[in-house]
Amino acid sequence: MAGFWQDLKDRHHKRVFGARELLKYIGPGLLVTVGFIDPGNWASNLAAGSSYGYSLLWMVTLSTLMLIILQHNVAHLGIATGLCLSEAANKHLPRAAARPLLWSAMAASVSTSLAEILGGAIALQMLFGVPLKLGAALVTGLVVFLLLSNTYRRLEKWIIGFVSLIGLSFIYELKLAPVDWHATAAGWLTPALPHGSMLIVMSVLGAVVMPHNLFLHSEVIQSRQWNLEDEKVIQLQLKYEFVDTLLSMLVGWAINSAMIIMAAATFYAAGTVVTELPQAQAMLVPLLGGGASTVFALALLLAGVASSVTSGMAGASIFAGLYGEPMNLADNHSRLGVYISLAAALLIIFFITDPFRGLILSQMALSVQLPFTIFLQVYLTSSKKVMGRHANSGLDTALLLLIGLAVTFLNIKLLLSLLGS
């Protein structure tokens, strides 16, 4: 009997130790998650739900499955090599190939920052009547302050808090909305391409599977320098990283789905197509009440600030990688990457005449750059020279290539639909 109780005690300690161990590795995935519940996603998802009801929910499911595979794979690069995606490209690719690829990734970071800052500015306009351009400048200033005055671990805590509040906001919204859950389940699982939906489909894809997030995830993971540990420790990190990635991406899937469901249950049901975020907020008052519209605007502000932080971090990582350096916000190259990503986005916002369409097009631009980042990632993580014994298996490489080809195919479909319109 004593042996039984000792065994039970040992198992209890192992479970507690395992849970405590896991909590140490939660964080990188949530930094990525906030990048795909950003204002660009809000615009894409509200457009999808208000225009096509529940029928495009499948794209969130498909995009999230792609995202889990891609983020898990790029995290392996950081764990096994101690290099982020940008550093690895600079080190292992010819300069003539690495430079254009990384500069296109910087352009994607700017496009991302544009959506994040613009969304935060729209939220300030909704809540306090702040002019859009002034609001954009205020959001940019706050984000720069947060980035240059906080460490990774502090930022992770901020982001986890932001993600939690955004999630709770949409739970509140869904509780008020008359949701058709049968149509929701069908939408999640049944692929459909309604006439004229290709631009929205691609913007949803670009809003979920984002190039800058692949760079960011590898950066945050490699910053912990697990590659310097022994093989047993590396294997442990790979296991815990997958749990972090899976749980975090599922949180993002749920929040993105909630946006489309809320738009379908309210705007689509009322026959209203959302063409700007303030319109969505105003429409929620008669449909769900004033409290829902305030929560909507506050959640948008949180999403704008939090995702601007992560897009600035990604810009820093990509730019530092051009010089073969890891991101270090005390270093001039990393800081310059932050300034380029955020300041260029702010400058573009001053020339935008249709903010909502600007959000949609920014997400579409991300989907156009995405294949280049995916194929770069596949090349690096499949190379034994780069990854050693942790290189992709043949099956992993085939699956990653299939995702890259699918994204490329959808881009071609988008181009053809635009040329034919």
Between 202 and 342, the higher pLDDT residue? 342
> Which residue did the predictor score with more confidence, 8 or 239?
239
Instruction: Kindly give, in sequence order, each residue whose CB lies less than 8 Å from that of residue 94, ignoring residues fewer than 6 positions away.
Output: none
Residue 415: pLDDT band by 50, 70, 90 thresholds? low
What superfamily would CATH give domain 26-420?
Amino acid/polyamine transporter I (1.20.1740.10)
Instruction: Tell me the pLDDT tens digit for each residue of 14-60.
Output: 444 455 555 555 556 777 777 677 777 788 888 999 999 999 999 99
pLDDT value, residue 230: 61
Report which of residues 61 and 281 the model is more confident about. 61
Amino acid 15: pLDDT: 43
288 or 386, which is more confident? 386
Give the residue with greater pLDDT, 227 vs 102. Answer: 102
Find the mean pLDDT for residues 149-173.
73
By the 8 A CB rule, do 81 and 69 touch? no
**pLDDT higher than threshold 70 for residue 70:** yes
Mean pLDDT of all residues in 366-381: 92
**Residues whose CB falls within 8 Å of the CB of residue 92, separated by 6 or more in sequence, listed in order:** 380, 383, 385, 386
Q: State the average pLDDT for the chain.
A: 84
39 vs 302, more confident: 302
148 vs 119: CA distance, rounded Å = 22
CA distance 128 to 288: 21
Question: Among positive and negative, which fits the CA dihedral 7, 13, 15, 18?
Answer: negative
381, two tokens? 């993580």
| Residue pair 82/225 in contact by the 8 Å Cβ criterion | yes
pLDDT tens, position by position, 74-112: 998 988 888 999 999 999 999 999 999 999 999 999 998
Instruction: Tell me which of 23-32, 130-139, 342-351 is least confident.
Output: 23-32
Name which residue leads in pLDDT, 381 or 119.
381
Contacts of 113 (CB under 8 A, 6+ apart): 308, 311, 312, 315, 341, 342, 344, 345
pLDDT attached to residue 41: 78
pLDDT at 340: 97
What is the domain partition of the chain in residue ranges?
A: 26-420
* pLDDT at residue 2 in the model: 41
pLDDT of residue 238: 73
224 against 373, higher pLDDT: 373
Q: What is the mean pLDDT of residues 269-295?
A: 76
- Two tokens, residue 327: 């991101």
pLDDT of residue 10: 46
- Give the model's pLDDT for residue 62: 92
The pLDDT score that the predictor gives to residue 8 is 39
Among 116-130, 267-281, 364-378, name the one with the lowest average pLDDT: 267-281
Q: Stretch 397-408: mean pLDDT, rounded?
A: 92
